[in-house]
Amino acid sequence: MSLYYTLDADHKAIPTDDVLVWARWFENINNRIVAKTVLPNGIRVSTVCLGADHAFGGGPPLIFESMSFGDADHDEMCERYSTWDEAVAGHAAMVEKCKAMP
């Protein structure tokens, strides 16, 4: 199982063991952004492709992450996903969760 992943044009994860291939892909932030949302209350939700497996071989690769940023009560909620589609759905769920918080 690979540690590093890039995404193809259809947002499918492509494993690679070549760190230079991965690094060239990773350096362009536009390759990695899934979604960004800024809520009226100032909370930001960001979902990106991490490009590296954060399951570290313990199950399906977790290469996408949603995080919230805001005040102390809303900062750094984190969820990880294996696929682009899961990341899109997870982003929407985290946005709704942040909207519902006081």
Domain that includes residue 80, residue range: 4-100
The pLDDT value recorded for residue 46 is 96
Burial annotation 72-99 (CB, 10 A radius, 16+ → b, else e): eebeebebbbbbbebbbebbeebbebbe
Q: What is the pLDDT of residues 8-58, one digit of tens each?
A: 999 999 999 999 999 999 999 999 999 999 998 888 999 999 999 998 777
Instruction: Identify which of 61, 71, 29 has the alpha carbon closest to the alpha carbon of residue 48.
Output: 29
Q: How long a stretch of residues is the chain?
A: 102
Pairwise CA distance, residues 12 & 15, whole Å: 10
Query: pLDDT grade, residue 99 (50/70/90)?
Result: confident
Residue 19: alpha-carbon gap to chain centroid: 19
What pTM was estimated for this model as a whole?
A: 0.90
The pLDDT value recorded for residue 19 is 93
Average pLDDT, the chain: 91
| Domains held by the chain: number | 1
